[in-house]
Amino acid sequence: MKILCSTFGSAGDVFPILGLCLALRDRGHEVTLATNPYFAEMAERHQIPFEPLGTESQFRESIQHPDLWHPRRSFGYLFAMLELVRLQQFELFARYARQGPFVGVVNCLSFGAMTAAEKFGFPCITAHCQPAVLWSDVKPPKLPGLFGPRWLRSGIVRLGERWFVEPAALPVLNHWRAELGLAPIQRLTTWWNSRDGVLGMFPEWYAPAQSDWPSPLKQTDFPLWNFRSDQSLEDEIAEFLSEGMPPIVFAPGSANVQAREFFAAAVHACQRLGRRGILLTEFDEQVPRILPASVARFSYAPLDLVLPHCSALVHHGGIGTASQAMLAGIPQLIMPMAHDQFDNAERITQLGIGSSISFRSFRGPRIARKLNALLTNPGVLQRCKQIADRLTRRDGLQRSAVAIEQLAHMSATDVSD
């Protein structure tokens, strides 16, 4: 089967899809990845054919804007950035459609690809890495400002769609669709779930399926894929890990260039607790110029290799980062800012394996108190181990590849009928 996978976003969005490409290739499929060329080297290293969407400079410029991390303005900003590549993605998938049968596998922001699927009639499966994009009235996802009982939360979700999501996207998309002879989108958060099938790359114990989720839908497990996991840890990192007690890792997101206060508070918290720390960011200017000997900064480390040697993870709440802490069996403290981060923070808290802290409260003393409560709670540590035991098989990508095959077969059967 010929498969074109496409996604947009940071490493947390691209890593799972690149891992899925590898799993599909291992099952004998002809797979290509289409995303920003910032990630081209990763695809080429694994010999996955690559189609660039946009430019690397566009990616680097897009992550500089503070609205990317704003709880209310983030979707509008994301949509403006996606507009730079919508037509390019549409034309890429149209070209594949003209060349012969293939299957598209895309994330929910792939508006060009999903529109091409409607126009040219090829099967296109939506792959969700996070449950927050499956908007439900039965159990609404946790969004910024969402509170109260289910009926109230459901109403707030609908208002969020009407006030923030749909005004940012639907006027532009529906004008374009009219030019293509396609019907207008009535509700974006329903439309981005493909009628050909939806893949949920997260386990049911993390996000139980709701009765109003789309169908057909197949849930699998976390991808748990990291770049350079097939290599040994860099000597500098391995040496630091071996020099003392397991450190606390602080990771505000691979694309976060607004993290100067995050890292300053992290250093303060480590000193207050008397614990060692690791700061993960590729952006030098985000880190305090002088660090104590007990705190080290590294540009990148595969989380599945470094976290088993650490005591806790403090992060922004991305689903990929959260799942790596679950795999390592360590507590996590989440500072959500936007996107799916609030929903993941709520689920982690409900699982009893971590807690959350607001952006406004993210200060050294408060972080230290929160971390100390997690690290000294036997129940939390035991629950972390139980969750880690559920993930030891690490078969999420293989199961997701099988699910793609099944959904593609179901779609082909429906067309023939």
Domain that holds residue 94: 2-224+394-416
Averaged pLDDT, 348-364? 96
Do 112 and 9 lie in one domain? The reply is yes
Residue 47, number of CB atoms within 10 A of its CB: 9
The reply to whether omega before 336 is within 30° of 0 (cis) is: no
pTM of this structure: 0.92
Total domains in the chain come to 2
DSSP 368: H
Do 84 and 194 lie in one domain? The reply is yes
Question: Would residue 229 count as lying in a domain?
Answer: no
Distances (CA, A) of 9 to 155, 176, 253, 291, 356: 28, 23, 11, 31, 23
Averaged pLDDT, 51-79? 82
pLDDT at residue number 247: 98
Averaged pLDDT, 317-335? 97
In the chain, the percentage of residues whose pLDDT exceeds 70 is: 93
Inter-residue long-range contacts of 259-267, CB under 8 Å, 24+ positions, other chains counted: 259/283, 259/286, 260/285, 260/286, 261/362, 262/286, 262/335, 262/362, 263/287, 263/288, 263/297, 264/288, 265/362, 265/363, 265/364, 265/367, 266/295, 266/314, 266/364, 266/367, 267/291, 267/292, 267/295, 267/364
Question: Would residue 230 count as lying in a domain?
Answer: no
Do 39 and 172 lie in one domain? The reply is yes
pLDDT at residue number 112: 97
Do 15 and 64 lie in one domain? The reply is yes
Do 127 and 171 lie in one domain? The reply is yes
Do 280 and 340 lie in one domain? The reply is yes
What's the rounded Cα separation, in Å, for the pair 327 and 222? Answer: 10
Single-letter code of the amino acid located at 136 = S
The CATH number given to whatever domain includes residue 156 is 3.40.50.2000
SS3 195: coil
pLDDT at residue number 339: 85
Token pair for 311: 């005591």
Averaged pLDDT, 24-46? 97
Mean pLDDT of the chain: 92
Query: What kind and span of H or E run contains 322?
Result: helix 319-328
pLDDT in tens, 161-193: 776 677 888 999 999 999 999 999 998 889 999
Q: Is the pLDDT of residue 403 over 60?
A: yes
Do 312 and 327 lie in one domain? The reply is yes
Helix orientation angle between 260-273 and 364-375, rounded to the nearest 10 degrees: 60
Contact 226, 15 (CB under 8 A): yes
Contact 70, 77 (CB under 8 A): yes
SS3 143: coil
HSE value, Cβ hemisphere, 13 Å, CA-based, for 395: 8
- Range from 12-21, 50-59, 155-164, 293-302 carrying the lowest mean pLDDT: 155-164
Do 182 and 270 lie in one domain? The reply is no
